[in-house]
Chain A
């Protein structure tokens, strides 16, 4: 049977008062009514709820939902040496915004960034918790570089920092580590650089499975080389990157894949039988038993109730693929 996983983020609030504790907590922190420790405790309550929801939906490899991340860029980059955090910038083609990292000098890793968050999540999850990190080339591309004046030089130093973080996570027990490089859907010519940075990260991955995930578009043009990148699994957005479906059918893959086929950016619900059929059609070209099905990207772009429904659809598709297979 094909496996199931998620990509990373998860809606951190819902529409019921119980689901809004974090929003209220941050507002109270801003007013000085609670301290950082109290907010951290609220974040952890939400992480447990997010783990529970993934578990109830039958997802096999889960994430902590990136509940404590301000955004995909500043949460990591902001804790590295020589990086400041600037004003808001649009995050790809979404209606979400990130605080732009500004690189003022040589970038380096100072101390674990995600380790506490990952350790807490894993200790509260029956399922393996995947550690998810934004990739060095995407970080380099979305930052404002005032020092290197070279995307490659910046990306390679960021890769060294990401590799340190991966090492810390793997030593703590992470069995799957995912590097997100959505920039490849916009700049496929960056694949060689992504591969070079992944080589550095792979050297520190220990026995964990290293995953390269791309989303927010298609990677059809570079698919064979992308699959050959130095990662154990490759994740693909097959919704916004619908063009990748046909490339995948044509080229196939000997490497296990994560097929992002449930639309994580639109509420419209998939008809599970139709999606399952398309997956089965790929059965001759890829190793479905070693692969995973997932949403097309992080679920935070959906309201919480819709995210839950999408997870259930994902589970149903996986079951239907498994039964027929």
Chain B
């Protein structure tokens, strides 16, 4: 049993950033907005988090800065797609290109600088339980936050009035507007939440996963998070399964590289991307599941008539 601990820890740390980013995007898409800028928001979150933690020496301030950074550029996206009804696909791409460039520009001064680590929080008593203790109760604060957020988002979407409004706006914006709900306001909040989560996910990368800054360190994780939302059929519970699957694939790639099988490292690095394609194909064949759960107004702009 002892041998399982290492792999499980790696899987959980590798899946946490995907889970965080995908969770935010899930809420955004539930409101009917498709934000393809997750990769860019993560990159900005990562550099803001690293810069703030490094300049102040306080990792917690880094976490806040990461969230804030993600939200600021998500705000730009909201302004464009909701305020000026621009094409959401194109605006999301613009956000990714801009975010990757901006993060590299800001981070230029921080390349090669060692970052402050994030302390692990040991939950007294529980963290001493063999096997489960180290895995579930001796993580850093952001991992706990991610998993708590899954439950919170699930509860919000399916058990609260606010969640019902969110889904109504995403499924039929004309009716939601006619009922008096502020479609644009709901969507803006959902976009900002998505930005906060993506920023946090980026912060996780630069503060916990590999405590340093390198340009393009997000390495497509924002895009994988987008695929995860489709895989999860917009259901938070399924998101956990998907994120853990990707965590396991990342672990497998590292493991195979470590024991030195005769496969070039580039092919092992391809694994997460190839898995994403396979996962998308498999889920897309299940058309009923997708038809029931896809927000009906996903990607459509709305101009309220007054």
Is B a genuine binding partner of A? no
Which residues of A pack against B, CB within 8 Å? Answer: none
Residues of B that sit less than 8 Å from A by CB: none
